[in-house]
Chain A
Amino acid sequence: MNSRVVILLALIWFPLTAYVMFRSALGALANYLLLPAIPSVIVLYVLALRSWRESWVAIVGVSLVSFWLLMAVAAPYLPLVDPNKPLVPFLAPGGVRHGILFLLGSDMRGRDVLSRTVWGCQRVLVWGITATSVAYAVGAGCGLIAGYLGGWWDEFVSFASNVLLSFPVMVLFILVLNLLGQSGFNIIIAVTCSSAPVIMRIVRGLALDAKSRDYIQAAQTRGEHPLWIMLVELLPNVRGPIIVDASLRLGYTTVAITTLTFLGLGLQPPDPDWGLMIKEAATAALLWKYSYMMIVPALSVSSLILGFNLIADGLREMSLRD
C-alpha cells in the first residue's frame, strides 16, 4: 500500500515542482508536464477516502486539500483567462465583458480573480510542500541522531535548536530573508530554520522513548550498527505521530508563505499568489463593494489550511482508536 502512495505522490510532486520552479527553462515540454499528475491526484484521493473512511474529519480535510491539489495540477488545462493579463478593472463578480465571464470579478488592475486564485495555489502548494519536506529531512535526521546517539550529539543538536527556537518565528524569517534575499529557495531555508528545531524535538522524544523498547535492545545485542538501528528499527515506528505533525506543519508553512508574500518578503510578483492578492487589495480596494478581491484569497488559503488541520485531527483520532 505504501509504495503505491509514494509513487503517486512522486508523480504529483515532481511535475508540479518542476513546472512552478523551472517553467521558463522547460519550454514546450511544460505544456505536457502536468498531465500525469491529474489522474494521480484523483487516484490518491480515492485511496485516502477508502483508508480513512471511519473519520469524517479526515475525509473533509483530505477533500479540501485534494481539491486545491487538483486545481494546481489542472490549472494549465482549465479554460482560464491569463491571470496576469489586465482586462477590465474593478468588475464585480459575475460580470461579463468582451464575451468573457468573470466568475469572481476582476481586481484593481483588471485581472480575473478566479484565474489568479486557481493559478495562485500552485506556488503556495509547491513551495509549502518543498519547504516542509526539507525541514523534515533536516529535523528528523537531527532528532534521530540526538535521540538515539545521545551524549555530545544530543547536547550540541539541542543547544543549536534552542538558539534557533529563541527567535520569534517572524523575526527569524525577516532576518533570514533580509540576509539572503527574497526568493522561493530562501523561503525554504527560512522555513527550515524555524521548523526543523521543533521537528527535531518531536523526533528526539520519540526516539528516546523507542530506545528503551526491548526490540531496540534486541538489535543492539545482535551488534547492529547504530545507523541501521535508527533507520530500519526506529524510523518505521515513529511514523504515526510524524505524519500527524507533518500535516499540521504543512498548514503552518502555508500560513508562513502567504504571510510573507503579503509582507512583500516572499515570492515576487507578478505571478499570482494569494498573499499578494490580499496585499494589493488591502491597499488599493478598501471599500465594501470591492471586498471580494480580499475575501476570495482569504477564504481560499483558509480552506487549504483547514484541510491540513482536519487531516491531522482525523489521523490523530484514528490512531487513538486503535
Chain B
Amino acid sequence: MGNLIVRRVTQMLLIMLTVSLLLFAIFDSDQFREKAAVAELGGFGVATLSADDYHEWLEKKGLNEPFLARYGRWLESVLHGDMGQSIEKDIAVSVLLKESLTNTGILAFFVFWIMIPVSLTLGVLAGMNTGSPLDRVISIVAVLTTSIPQIATAVLLTVILALGLGWVPTKSAMADGWSFRGLVLPLLTLLLYDIGYLVRMTRAAMTEVMASQYIRTAVLKGLPYRRVILRHALRNALIVPVTLIFLELNGLLSQVVVVEVFFQYAGFGRMLFDAANFGDLQVLQAATLVAVCVAVGSQLLSDAAYVFLNPRVRFT
C-alpha cells in the first residue's frame, strides 16, 4: 500500500509541475504581455510607445530574461506566498485569495456537513430495497435534481423562496455584515445537485452489493438483517461513495463559480470570474494554480481513501 501512495504522490507532483509550467507559459505569451502593458500604461499609452520604449519597459519589468529563469523566479515567489498584485482591486493577490477562499470554505463546510449524512443515508435506503416505493421516490427526486442545472436551480429557488415567500434575501453580497440567511440560497442550490448526485452513486453501489453472492452467504448464514446491512453490505458499498466525497471538493470549485456569481457571494468563484472579465492576469494565474492544487489534492485524498478502504488493494 505504501508503494502505491508514493507512486501516486510523485505522479501528482509531476502534474502540478506541468500545470504550473503550462500556466506560466500561457500567461507569459506576447498577447498577455501586451494586455499587462495596456493594463498598466493605458491603451493610449501603449499605442504611442515606440518599439524601443516598449522593450525598455519590458526590461524594466524583467520580462526579457530567458523563459526558464523567469519561471524559476515566479515559482519561488509563489512558494513564498507572493503571487503578485491585483490590478482591479489593488491589493495583494495572496490577501484576495485568502479572503475569497475563506468565504468559499464556509460555504463548502456547510455543504459537506449536510450532504454527507443525507446522501449516504438516502442512497443506502434506496439501494437496500431496489424497486420498492421508497427507492422509486428517492431515485426520481435524485434524477430530477441532477437534471436541473445549478443555474436553473438558483433561478427557481430565488423565485420561490426569495421573491415569492420572502424568507431569504435574493442576493448574498452580505453588504450589511455576515448573515446566515444570506447563505441559504447558494447553499441550497449547491446541495440539491450534489446530494442528488451522491445519492445516485451510493444507490448504485448499494444495489450492486446487495445482489452480490457474499450478501447471499450472509443472509443464508442466518444473520439478522440489520447485521447483514450494517456489517456486510455497507462496508463494501460505501467504498466508492467515500472516494467520491473527496472528489466533490474538485467539483465544488467549479460549481461555486456560477453560484457565487448569481448570488454575488464574495467567494473564490466570484473572484475568478471577476478576474477573467477584467483581465486581472495575476489573480487569474494564481487562482488557477490554487484551484489545480486543491483539485489534485482532492484526487490524491480520494485515491488514498480507496486504497485504505479496500482490503483487496491494501493487502496484496
Interface residues of chain A, those whose CB is within 8 Å of chain B, are 159, 162-163, 165-171, 174-175, 178-179, 251, 254-255, 258-259, 262-265, 275, 278, 282, 286-288, 291, 294-295, 297-299, 301-302, 305-306, 308-310, 313
Report how far A284 CA is from B289 CA in the complex, Å: 35
Kindly name the residue among A162, A166, A305, A310 whose own CB sees the greatest number of chain B CB atoms within 10 A.
A166
Closest to A302 in B: B148
Closest 3 CB pairs of A and B: A298-B152, A306-B147, A170-B254
Report how far A291 CA is from B156 CA in the complex, Å: 9
Q: Is B149 an interface residue (CB 8 A)?
A: yes
B163 touches A259 (CB 8 A): no
- State the Cβ distance, A9 to closest chain B Cβ, in Å: 23
Known A167-B292, A278-B155, A286-B170; judge A305-B147 contact (CB<8 A): yes
Q: Name the interface size band of chain B.
A: 35 or more
B152 touches A263 (CB 8 A): no
Report how far A191 CA is from B55 CA in the complex, Å: 37
Write out, one digit per residue, whether chain B residues 274-316 have a CB within 8 A of any chain A CB (1) or not (0). Answer: 0011000000100110011011100100000000000000000
Report how far A295 CA is from B250 CA in the complex, Å: 29
B143 touches A295 (CB 8 A): no
Query: Which residues from A are CB-within-8-Å of B296?
Result: 166
Closest to A303 in B: B147
B288 touches A175 (CB 8 A): yes
B251 touches A168 (CB 8 A): yes
Contact of A301 among B152, B170, B284, B295 (CB under 8 A): B152
Write out, one digit per residue, whether chain B residues 199-230 have a CB within 8 A of any chain A CB (1) or not (0). Answer: 00000000000000000000000000000000
Provide 20 A-B residue pairs closer than 8 Å at the C-beta atoms, listed in order of the A residue: A162-B11, A162-B15, A163-B15, A163-B18, A163-B19, A174-B276, A175-B26, A255-B151, A259-B151, A262-B262, A263-B258, A278-B151, A282-B155, A288-B163, A294-B159, A295-B156, A299-B152, A301-B149, A301-B151, A305-B149
Kindly name the residue among B14, B257, B284 whose own CB sees the greatest number of chain A CB atoms within 10 A.
B257
Query: Which residues from B are CB-within-8-Å of A298?
Result: 148, 151-152, 155-156
Kindly name the residue among A178, A251, A306 whose own CB sees the greatest number of chain B CB atoms within 10 A.
A178
Closest to B256 in A: A170
B151 touches A275 (CB 8 A): yes
A310 touches B151 (CB 8 A): no
Closest to B296 in A: A166
Closest to B14 in A: A159
Known A171-B253, A175-B288; judge A302-B143 contact (CB<8 A): no
**Secondary structure at chain A's binding surface: helix, strand, loop or mixed?**
helix
B288 touches A167 (CB 8 A): yes
Residues 6-32 of B contacting A (Cβ, < 8 Å)? 11, 14-16, 18-19, 22, 26
- State the Cβ distance, B212 to closest chain A Cβ, in Å: 15
**Secondary structure at chain B's binding surface: helix, strand, loop or mixed?**
helix
Contact of B295 among A168, A251, A278 (CB under 8 A): A168
Given contacts A168-B292, A263-B258, A282-B262, 17 further A-B pairs with CB under 8 A are A159-B15, A166-B296, A168-B291, A168-B294, A171-B292, A175-B26, A178-B284, A255-B150, A258-B151, A262-B258, A264-B277, A286-B158, A288-B163, A291-B163, A305-B147, A306-B143, A306-B148
Query: Which residues from A are CB-within-8-Å of B250?
Result: 168
Kindly name the residue among A171, A287, A305 whose own CB sees the greatest number of chain B CB atoms within 10 A.
A171
B164 touches A309 (CB 8 A): no
Report how far A163 CA is from B292 CA in the complex, Å: 9
Contact of A263 among B163, B261, B292 (CB under 8 A): B261
Q: Is B146 an interface residue (CB 8 A)?
A: yes
Residues 130-150 of B contacting A (Cβ, < 8 Å)? 143-144, 146-150
- State the Cβ distance, B237 to closest chain A Cβ, in Å: 18
A295 touches B148 (CB 8 A): no
B253 touches A170 (CB 8 A): yes
Report how far A179 CA is from B273 CA in the complex, Å: 14
Query: Which residues from A are CB-within-8-Å of B295?
Result: 166-168
Report how far A255 CA is from B148 CA in the complex, Å: 9
A288 touches B143 (CB 8 A): no
- State the Cβ distance, A69 to closest chain B Cβ, in Å: 17
Write out, one digit per residue, whether chain B residues 232-273 have a CB within 8 A of any chain A CB (1) or not (0). Answer: 000000000000000000110111011001100000010011
Write out, one digit per residue, whether chain B residues 161-178 have a CB within 8 A of any chain A CB (1) or not (0). Answer: 001100000100000000
Report how far A287 CA is from B158 CA in the complex, Å: 10
Known A174-B276, A262-B258, A301-B152; judge A166-B292 contact (CB<8 A): yes
Report how far A7 CA is from B149 CA in the complex, Å: 32
Closest to B11 in A: A162
Contact of B257 among A159, A263, A291, A294 (CB under 8 A): A263
B152 touches A179 (CB 8 A): no
Query: Which residues from B are CB-within-8-Å of A254?
Result: 149
- State the Cβ distance, B185 to closest chain A Cβ, in Å: 12
Query: Which residues from A are CB-within-8-Å of B18?
Result: 163
Query: Which residues from B are CB-within-8-Å of A165?
Result: 299
- State the Cβ distance, B252 to closest chain A Cβ, in Å: 8
Report how far A167 CA is from B170 CA in the complex, Å: 30
Known A170-B254, A259-B258; judge A295-B159 contact (CB<8 A): yes
Contact of B254 among A169, A178, A262, A288 (CB under 8 A): A169
